[in-house]
Amino acid sequence: MENNRGTFWTRVGYSNVVLLKNGKSAILVDTGVKGNLAHILRFLKHKNTEPAELKLIVLTHTHHDHTGNLHELVKLTGAPVLVHQNEYENLKKGFTPIPKGMGFYTRFISGLGSIVVPRFASPKAFEAQLINHHEYDLNPFGIDAKIISTPGHTNGSQSVLVGDTLVAGDTFLNLGNGIIFPHFCNNPATLLHTWEMLFESGVKTVVPGHGKPFAVEKAIPELEKWKKKI
């Protein structure tokens, strides 16, 4: 049956939500911008997925634009939530520090945000049931994939590797203005190491946190560019 197996994405607000599906098993990666529950439910329906078939919700990191609709989805699906150990406390407290901006303008916004609305980047508090300490096998949830740690955008950023496709959260962007390297970033040098590791790992396709999926080659010139800057 169509849509019975695969990796599907949809844009929820301005962030991507990804469905990993294998028959009656399904995993959702990220929960988008808040106020968009109806969109996510329509997306699931379109992919022949009952809310109760969601076995797990993986959060690539805990910024508010990736964790909206989380409480509602948990209520509806009963699925446990999995975060990286370095984001667990942030989610529990509902406070994620605003990452540093990479350019003058984003640095300005980030600095201003930290002063005016320190909770600007933060999720609604939630205590996750499952924690990834480094890698996490998703086969027990019926999906042949694994979570890997991809620190840099935040210290607890993680991605899902499905074959040679990386569901990356904000480890990669693909914005209309050509930005691939996240313009808000906790640790740019760490992120570049993460990119190098990923380029060597055989990843072919990236599903970014914002923007359309792309072939990984597109990001390689960016690596060289940012290595000189950082």
Residues that bind Zn ion (CB under 5 A): 63, 170
In angstroms, give the least distance from the CB of 96 to Zn ion. 8
Please state, in angstroms and rounded to a whole number, the distance separating the CA atoms of residues 199 and 52: 36
In angstroms, give the least distance from the CB of 170 to Zn ion. 4
Reduced to 3 states (helix: H, G, I; strand: E, B; else coil), residue 12 is: strand
State the chain's maximal CA–CA distance in angstroms: 52
Residue with tokens 């329509």: 42
Which CB atom, from 47 or from 92, has the smaller least distance to Zn ion?
Answer: 92
In angstroms, give the least distance from the CB of 192 to Zn ion. 17
HSE-up (13 A, CA, CB side) for residue 169: 35
Which CB atom, from 22 or from 62, has the smaller least distance to Zn ion?
Answer: 62
In the DSSP assignment, the letter for residue 153 is S
* Beta bridge mates, 56: 27
Which CB atom, from 53 or from 170, has the smaller least distance to Zn ion?
Answer: 170
Which CB atom, from 48 or from 190, has the smaller least distance to Zn ion?
Answer: 190
Contact 159, 166 (CB under 8 A): yes
In angstroms, give the least distance from the CB of 98 to Zn ion. 10
Contact 65, 15 (CB under 8 A): yes
